[in-house]
Amino acid sequence: MKEITIGKTSEYDFNTVNEALASLPNSEEQIHIKIYPGKYYEKIEIKRGSLIIEGCGDDPKDVDLTFDDYARADMPDGSKRGTFRSYSVFIDASHITMKNLTISNTSGDESKAWQAIALYADGDDLNFENIRLLSRQDTLFTGPLPPKEAQPGGFIGPKQFDPRINGHHRYTNCYICGNVDFIFGSATAVFEECTIESVPRGGEKGLENDPQGYCTAPSTPEGQDEGYTFNRCSFVSRECPPKSVYLGRPWREFAKSVFIECTFGPHIKDEGFHDWNKEIAHKTSFFAVKDCLRDDGSAYIPTADFAHVLN
């Protein structure tokens, strides 16, 4: 397997991630890209598959792929950037593994920036191991986009007119933080032993906001068997008040999120799920828990009337 190294000094093959990606041959050869410690301030687009991209520090914090675009930013034509052009890292390929690194969007307070994606992942056989995903609103987008936008121009971005092809993603031992809808999209995605941290919403109200956020906003397409599955994950918050965060809400009517043997901190609301004011979602969406606990050891049974408890 060919190896490429990226680092901050002349001893490495490349000094930036984008330089390394531009050098890749147009083939299906598997390539191992090793990124050595440092902060890489780049807007990164990965459009070639069969890659292993590995941070080579002692901790995923040591390699930070970071940028600071955000939805509310003005574009040269006078329009707003929008959600789907705000990413720090965009994957539009399949058969990719990323591990032991951080992907961050540092645009800041979502009350001013609005949505700010850290990772836009659209492809099949995407595997993420021991990575950190940092932002506030809309941290992780698991493509594809839903079939139709709710408002004109809502999907402006690199995949706006592409076919919607379901992908399979796996996130293992990852840390993901944010507040509003910070894990969202249409993919079939499994999260294994991840830490999901809710951070408070910003703005003048700050901690007075209720709710403080929604951990997931799936847009599972009609007829797709699975959406999001969280296995043995910990949902935590250091700052959000008790019972101020929902586990999820349906971005589209057939949304699916299932939580198995997860642990929930006191910030998670008793209801568990919100319907996003979509009455039809009570019949068409599927939000469920199985063998989940509060962090005090008590059983967690969501009280929302459309939530399911699996045996």
Tens digits of residue pLDDT in 143-165:
999 999 988 889 999 999 999 99
- For domain 2-309, which CATH number applies: 1.10.357.10, 1.10.3720.10, 3.30.465.10, 2.160.20.10? 2.160.20.10
Encode the chain (311 residues) as per-residue pLDDT tens digits: 899 999 999 999 999 999 999 999 988 899 999 999 999 999 999 999 999 999 999 999 999 999 999 999 999 999 999 999 999 999 999 999 999 999 999 999 888 899 999 999 999 999 999 999 999 999 999 999 999 998 888 999 999 999 999 999 999 999 999 999 999 999 999 999 999 999 999 876 777 778 999 999 999 999 999 999 999 999 999 999 999 999 999 999 999 999 999 999 999 999 999 999 999 999 999 999 999 999 999 999 999 999 999 99
DSSP SS3 for 111: helix
Tell me the C-alpha distance between 184 and 117, whole Å: 10
Residue 178 contacts residue 236 (beta carbons within 8 Å): no
Delimit the domains of the chain by residue range: 2-309
Look at the chain and count its residues: 311
Residue 178 contacts residue 190 (beta carbons within 8 Å): no
